[in-house]
Every structure is written in C-alpha cells, then in structure tokens.
Amino acid sequence: MLRYVLGRCVMMVPTLVLTSMLIFTIIELPPGDYFESYIAELQAQGEGVDLKQIEALRKQYGFDKPPVERYLHWVGGMLQGDFGYSFEYQMPVNAVVGDRLWLTVMVSCFTILFTWIVAFPIGMYSATHQYSWGDHGLTLLGLLGLAVPHFLLALVFMYFANVWFGTSIGHLMDPEYLGAPMSWAKVESILEHLWIPVLIIGTGGTAGMIRRLRANLLDELHKQYVVTARAKGLPPFRALVKYPLRMSLNFFIADIGSILPELVSGAEITAIVLSLETTGPMLIRALQSQDMYLAGSFLMFLAFLTVIGVLISDLALVMLDPRIRLGGGSTK
C-alpha cells in the first residue's frame, strides 16, 4: 500500500507539470493580453487611455518577455506560495480568492450533504420497491430534476423566495453585509440565503445519484449471495445494508475525485444567475478578461485537488470493496 501511494505521489508531479503547461498555453492562445482587453474596454466606454502607464504595467509584470520565461516565473511563484497579481481586482490572487473560497466551500458542502441525505433513502426505496407507484413517482421526479436547467430553477426559486419568505433576490447575504466583516448577523443572513443555491445545485446531483444508486443496488439484489442471505433468515434491512448497499457504492466513492474540485469551483451558471459571491463567476470573468495569474492559478488549484481526490477515491475503493486490488493482476 505504501509503495503504491508513494508511486502515485511521484506520478502527480509530471501530471501537474503537463497540466500547468496546458493551462498556460490555453490562456495564452487568444490574441493580446489583459492590458489590450482593458484598453479596448476603456475606449468602448469613451474614456481616455494612458498608453505609457499601460506599457509600464506590462513591463512591470513581465508581459514584454517571451512566453516561456513568463511560464517559468508563474510556476516558480506558485511553488513559493505566490500566485501572482490579479489585474482585474488590482490585488494579489490570494486576497481575491480568500472570502469567495470559503463561501464556495460552504455552499458546496451543504449541497453535498443535501444530495446524500435525499438520494440515499430514495435510491434504496426505489431499488427495494421496483416498479411500485412510489418507484414510478420518484423516478419521474428524478428525471425532472435532471431535465430542468439549473438557471431556470434559479429564476423560479428567486421569485418564490422573495414572494413567500421575503428573502432578497440574489447574493448569499443581504446587501448591507456585502464587504462587511464577519459577524453573527452576517452568518444569519448567509444561512437565510443559503438554502436557495443548495436546493438548486443539489437537484440535478440528487436526481443523478438516485438513478445510479437504484441501478447498482438492483444489480446487487439479484445476485446469489443476497438470495442465500434471505433464505437463511437474515433480516431484510440487514441483508440490504451489510453487502448489497456496500457493493453498490463504488460509483459514489469513485466520484470523490470530482467532488473535491467541485467544492471550490461551485456551479458557475447558477452562481451568475443568483449573483453569488463564490469563485465560479470570478473564474469566468478572469478567463474573459485574460487575467492570467488569477485564472491560471485557480485552474491549477483545481487540478491539484483533482489528482488528490482521485488518489483518495482509489484508496477508499480498495477499503470498501475487497475485490479491488491496487497492483492489479490475480490474487491467490
């Protein structure tokens, strides 16, 4: 096990190096840079442009140097904990991401908990009551959850939250708390608004997990060892939970590799519609404006979380399912 983990950690290095090259190349592919986009935006608004100041900033941040040199400077800074400077927000990347990161993680964690709490009982019920009225009804709700776009649900929830509960439309808190230091009143305001994005983002994930859990559990329930356990008089609930449910959770454990980056990235489209102070809209804006250090560093952070998540999911799968072996090959 230790040898396998060490080998995987060593393999992460070239994976992240290649990923950083790919991210840097894709961000550099569009013509121009942030300063040219900024000049075009100022001219479109009819404002004057100080070209000498723009040129000085370009030289200050190394945009007059070859791409290879800028790439090495960017990667070297990240290894030292310096993720660069955001031109869009005019502050270091660490400061830009700080508050948004915690709000995004909070929304994502509550969404994941909501998904698990709702999906597991429904998926187990649908599998154990196949083709019943309850199964058909829950299947219909699941398909609706998969079919309805998140942005449409966001618009509907925004309306009803304002009409029924008086919750202000948009944002994760009331307007007076935007930019204010953390306080108990601000936490209460965040919790008041939190249920809206959690329900919207969690709907699609809950529906998908219900369908997968139902399919995997049905496959396990028809296997011979379950029939034997029931024939020996094992209680129905214990016969369900002890082995079939455990064996049907492989897909759930395998999804850990994608859950970690989702905790940080969040649902971008929903966040834009609801005007949430999360990292999703920030990343899209950074890509649009070619804010290289902000967009590139954030994407690299997501890539790092992905490789860590995949390693955790592989190790968890081995502990969950004894049929899986890290080294491959046959076992005696």
Which mean pLDDT values do the consecutive 10-residue runs of the chain (332 residues) have? 80 90 85 74 69 75 80 85 79 80 82 86 87 86 78 78 70 73 78 81 80 86 82 82 79 74 70 79 81 84 85 80 61 48
Separation CA 66–CA 62 (nearest Å) = 9
Question: Tell me, what's the pLDDT at 327?
Answer: 57
User: Global pTM?
Assistant: 0.75
Q: How many CB atoms lie within 10 A of CB 217?
A: 22
Question: Tell me, what's the pLDDT at 148?
Answer: 80
Burial 306-322 (b: 16+ CB within 10 A, else e): bbbbbbebbbbbbebee
Nearest to 201 by CA among 252, 272, 137, 250: 272
**CATH fold of 96-320:** MetI-like fold (1.10.3720)
- Decide if 93 contacts 84 (C-beta within 8 A): yes
Question: Tell me, what's the pLDDT at 266?
Answer: 59
Question: Tell me, what's the pLDDT at 124?
Answer: 87
Separation CA 277–CA 172 (nearest Å) = 7
Question: Tell me, what's the pLDDT at 18?
Answer: 93
- Decide if 157 contacts 270 (C-beta within 8 A): no
> At CB < 8 A and 24+ separation, what contacts does 14-20 make?
15/307, 16/300, 16/303, 16/304, 16/307, 19/300, 19/303, 20/71, 20/75, 20/296, 20/300, 20/303
DSSP 30: S
pLDDT tens track for 19-54: 999 988 888 887 777 777 777 776 677 776 667 777
Question: Tell me, what's the pLDDT at 332?
Answer: 47
Domain boundaries along the sequence of the chain = 23-82, 96-320
Question: Tell me, what's the pLDDT at 226?
Answer: 81
Cα→Cα distances 60→63, 65, 84, 87, 133, Å: 8, 10, 12, 12, 68
- Decide if 295 contacts 34 (C-beta within 8 A): no
Separation CA 205–CA 40 (nearest Å) = 40
Separation CA 69–CA 191 (nearest Å) = 46
